[in-house]
Each structure stands twice: as structure tokens, then as C-alpha cells.
Amino acid sequence: MVWQPSERYPDPAVQVLDASFKRLRNWMAAIERLATGFRWAEGPVWFGDGRFLLWSDIPDNRILRWSEETGEVSVFRAPSDHANGNTRDRAGRLVTCEHSTRRVTRTEYDGEITVLADEFDGKRLNSPNDVVTKSDGSVWFSDPTYGITGNYLGRRAESELSTGIYRIDPDSGEIVLLDDALAGPNGLAFSPDESRLYVNDSGSRPCRIYAFDVADGGHALTNRRVLLEVEDGIPDGVRVDVQGNLWVAWGVTRTGNDGVRVINPDGRIIGIVGLPEGCANLCFGGRWRNRLFMAASQSLYSLYVNTQGVAGG
């Protein structure tokens, strides 16, 4: 499909399904394509102090950099060990999920790489996929098998562990398995008050979006429940705005209505950001965290919205 930017405000690709979405939509903003020509764009993360965005191109084994000031795209890291999800910790350092090394790493201020997790209970992780940080400094990540099922998004290998959701303690470095019941845990994000963790299960059929209660002082997950059972498409990455709405990367729909689904805390889809490509992941950025960046298959898109993303994504 040939993409053309909208010349109309509001952009007809930004669809209001519920009146509550109208206050989140910036009617004077249209979807922008910032760059294209990638194989599978994933894991965008915003660096406001440098006014740039990083994201992964997994099959090409690199992390790319887009400059807000110049619009230039450059290579930040190659090889990237088939990096997938990225975020920043509360000290501003890059945290990355790597497929081919089957680990979660942190890039220090001097560029050195510290391994945060590569095994659990004496066994190698599968292929860490997405990652978020909590205000206490802990790192939470999902570990499905997508990066070891073939030689495109990583390296083919045998799984040694069940798919899982993990927490890395900020002080001891201890890795704790929080849940291993989902078929393909993928994108994850905290609610604004960090009392909930949302997790997309891209491996179940139908796909489901789960909500967990964060318990035991932020060290455990309880009360796993289905927030939304997906009728069409596959949910991938997710971020949450300050009102508590989920902005979910969405693709592989039968209708071709790919892009982003906006879901309220009760599990109702209230809006759609339509893209011509399946969206894999997203983040909020810009000076006021009101610019939605979307990594979608071969391209990078953005849209200004009337809300802000919460910290830690």
C-alpha cells in the first residue's frame, strides 16, 4: 500500500470509536512518516536530553537513531545482537532486550554494556522481548521464544525455559519469575500508579491482553485476568498514558486496519490510529511526552496527541 500523508485535519486515519477518545486526539495533528526502508522496526525509546529516538531493526541486526532536530537517520549500534525492545532506566541509561544473546543489557554512560539477565535457575533465557522499568529501579521483561524459532529475528535454538515475565531487583540483581502461564508474553507496561501491569499475550489464539495486580511491595504479580480478548489482529508492544489508557501496537488484521488501538482501563477500545503497516511497538516522546512514535514493519511514524505517556516506558 502506498502511504500518503493526510492533507486534512483531523486526520481520517485517527478514528474515534468512543467519545472519550476525542479529548486524547489532537485534531490539528496528522500522522507523519519519519523514515522507511527497514525490515522489522521495533522497540522505540525516546531520549529527550538528546532530542533523538532509538529503535531496533531486528533482522538487520542494528539499532537506529532518528534526530528530532535534523530528521537524519543513522546507525546507533551494529551489530545489536538482534535487539528488540528498549527502554530507559530511571537513571537515563538504555536497557535492551537482545535475541541472539538471549539477554537483557544496560548501556552505561561510557558505552560499556552490562548484562542484567541472561539465565534463570541455571538455564538460558529464551529471547527477551520487551522491557519496562519501575520507579523503584527494578527492570521487568517478557521472555517468549520468538527470537529462537528461526534465523531471521535471532538464532534458532532450543528453549530451556517456559515463556515468562521476570523482575530484576535493582539492588541485588536477583531475577524473579513472576508468571509463566502466558503462551507468548510480549509488550508490557505499568498503570500510572504502578498498581497494575498490563501484558500482551501474542502467542495465544485468540490473542489476549492481561492485567495483573502488582503486589508484595512491587515484588510480585497476582490476580491475573483478561482485560481484552482480541477478535482481529495481534497486539504487540504497549505503553500507557497519564489517564491510564493503553496504546497498543497492532498488526496482522484480517481487515487491514493495522496500527494502534487505544484501550481504556476497563478494556474497551476507544480509538484507532490507522497505519498502512502492522505496528510492532511504540513509545511517547517529544518535549512534553505527547508525541507518539510508532515502529511499524518497514517504517517509523509519529503523531502528536492530547495526552502524555507515563515514565518508565
Please tell me whether 186 is known to bind a ligand. Answer: yes
- Residue corresponding to grid cell 493503553: 246
Q: What is the CA 78 to chain-centroid distance, rounded?
A: 21
What's the pLDDT at 311? Answer: 84
pLDDT tens column, 27-54: 999 999 999 999 999 999 999 999 999 9
pLDDT digits (tens, 9 = 90+) for 235-253: 999 999 999 999 999 999 9
Amino acid at 198: Y
Binding residue per annotation — 42?
Answer: yes
Q: What is the mean pLDDT of residues 292-310?
A: 98
Q: Is position 86 annotated in a ligand binding site? A: no
SS3 breakdown of the chain: % helix, strand, coil, rounded to 5? 5, 50, 50
The full set of domains in the chain, from first to last, is: 14-304 (2.120.10.30)
Q: Is 231 annotated as a binding residue?
A: no
**Grid cell locating 2:** 502506498
**Whether the Cβ atoms of residue 45 and residue 53 lie closer than 8 Å to each other:** yes
Among candidates 22, 15, 34, 26, which has minimal Cα distance to 302? 34
Rounded to 10 degrees, the C-alpha dihedral 282/101/82/80 comes to 100
**pTM greater than 0.85 (yes/no):** yes
> What positions carry a catalytic annotation?
236
- Cα 216 to Cα 115: distance, rounded to the nearest angstrom: 26
pLDDT, tens digit, 9 for 90 and up, residues 137-150? 999 999 999 999 99
Question: In 163-310, at which residue ranges do the beta strands (DSSP E only) sit?
Answer: 164-168, 175-179, 185-190, 196-201, 208-215, 220-229, 234-240, 246-251, 259-263, 269-274, 281-285, 291-296, 299-304
**What pLDDT is stored for residue 1 in this prediction?**
59
